Amino acid sequence: MLAISFLDTLIIVVYVSAVVYLGVRLGAGEKNLAGYLLGGRDLPWWAVLGSIVATETSTATFLSVPGIAFAAGGDLRFLQLAIGFIVGRILVSIVLLPLYFRGELFTAYEVLDKRFGGATKQAASLLFLVTRNLGDGLRLFLTAIVLEKVAGVNLPICIVAIGVVTIVYTLIGGMRAVVWNDCIQFVVYIAGGVAAIFLIAGALDGGWGELSDFASAEGKLRLFDFSFDATITFTFWAGLIGGATLTLGTHGTDQMMVQRYLCTRGPREASLALVASGVVVFLQFALFLFVGVALACFYARVEPGVTFDRNDEVFATFIVDAMPTGLVGLTLAAAFAAAMSTLSSSLNSSAASAVNDLYKPLCKKDVEADQLIRASKWMTAFFGVVQMIVGIAASYVSRSVVGEALAIAGFSAGMLLGVFLLGVLTRRAGQVASVIGMVAGLVALLSVHVFTDVAWPWYAIIGASVTFTVGWLASLVTPPATNRWDDIEHAKD
């Protein structure tokens, strides 16, 4: 029995069908690998900006960020991370972005091949593939929970349904479909957040004034915490230093983001899209945090019909129980949009990394473009199935275990940043030293995660520092590098 009306269900079905149709239409003319994986390297910067923001916004963000501000003692301190995200993007555009436009590259890890060698590239690519598909398989699981609640369908069926739809339009449409669908989905989920705030304010007897008074009285508008306690997640220093370092890893070395820069018409447009996306993300987080503040005010006045076991459930409950018919469907479509934008980007970037970093080196140099496109499509489907399996497996473990796995999945940001900096800042470090550094970074992060209470925003800087330091020390006793960044020449047409 559906928990939502027929009209709301129809809206969701029409939206998802339109997404698939758009993917099919956009992918019809792609005849080469650059077109399929990079949108022909000719996408406008503002479309790439929208894709960057939508890609890092999953259903977990759509539902969890309001829960942060809704919680007892919750406020706006989460935005301190977004400040670090802006700083990190500026550093990426200055330090790392120019490297990706030296030659006709398809993945971030081809740069590591030029600097260190094939083994480092393949290790980095495998690390990306494992952590990306583990993390996004769990995001698929979290999205399916929403579908399960509103549709009354078994969770594994929900996981497969969302996974199959995302695979279809990503496989057929390629990167061009992913980017343009991301832009549409960005507009949809932002509209859902704005609609929720206006609806809540309208439902309060005192309207916006009552909401403002509640936020001030409850301390919900607190933004800064200058504490130096490393066990507190949301402090200014964790946000500025940890957030900037995390962004250097996620947006500077993660294939899912680097692939978007390579879709633009050049480094200037890529830099504009990247830096501007930081400002948009800040405003987006502010919007969803304010949704949480509004929800706290609403449920302080209106007794909820259920008990909230988790703060993540509050927004989903409000959507189903308190929104009018029609708006429920639009807002749930927004939740699925946030999920599909992340998952489709994950599948496309995973396929790009697997084909270019792992498959092509095993093939003859004159491999046909058609063969590479077919391989990319097979890899898209393969990773889609992997994520569905991870999502189904997650349904049999506790939610706390899922949270642990999501934290571990983010380890790659620090480790990959460390090995990139090892190549940029040192001359002697070679392939053996880089691999040793990566292994040391993984061991250090696992130890910190298991044996300490250090907050997760510090993980990236710990991983990067250990990877770089151990790699540099290892370079003193291992074979020196045969190449350096400044030896990498621009590819000739």
Tens-binned pLDDT, residue by residue, of the chain (493 aa):
456 678 888 888 888 788 777 766 766 555 566 666 666 677 888 988 988 888 777 666 777 788 888 888 888 998 998 999 999 999 989 887 887 777 555 566 777 777 788 788 888 888 888 888 888 887 888 778 777 766 677 888 888 988 888 887 777 766 777 788 778 878 888 888 898 899 898 888 888 999 999 999 989 999 998 988 888 878 899 889 988 988 888 788 777 788 788 888 888 999 999 999 999 999 999 999 999 999 999 888 887 766 776 777 788 778 877 788 887 887 777 777 767 767 877 888 888 888 878 887 777 666 676 777 788 888 889 999 999 998 888 877 655 444 555 566 567 788 888 888 888 788 888 889 988 999 999 899 989 988 988 887 888 889 999 999 999 999 999 888 776 655 554 443 3
CA distances from 110 to 105, 205, 380 (A): 7, 59, 20
Q: Measure the CA–CA gap between 91 and 106, rounded to whole angstroms.
A: 22
Looking up tokens 């077109």 gives: 35
Cα separations in angstroms, 98 against 73, 360, 427: 43, 24, 18
CA distances from 388 to 138, 165, 167 (A): 9, 12, 10
Name the nearest CA neighbour of 419 among 468, 461, 376.
468
List the domains of the chain with CATH numbers.
6-398 (1.20.1730.10)
Residue of 173, 6, 145, 126 whose CA lies nearest to 64: 145
Q: Model pTM?
A: 0.79
CA–CA separation, 165 and 377 (whole Å): 15
Distance between start and end Cα atoms, the chain: 60
Q: Which residues contact 5 (CB under 8 A, 6 or more apart)?
A: 325, 328, 329
**Cα dihedral 175, 180, 186, 192 sign:** negative
pLDDT at 386: 93
Q: Are 318 and 295 spatial neighbours (Cβ–Cβ below 8 Å)? A: yes
pLDDT, residue 402, reads: 47
CA atoms within a 13 Å half-sphere pointing along the CA-CB vector of 479: 8
At 156, list the tokens: 């594994």
75 vs 301: CA distance, rounded Å: 19
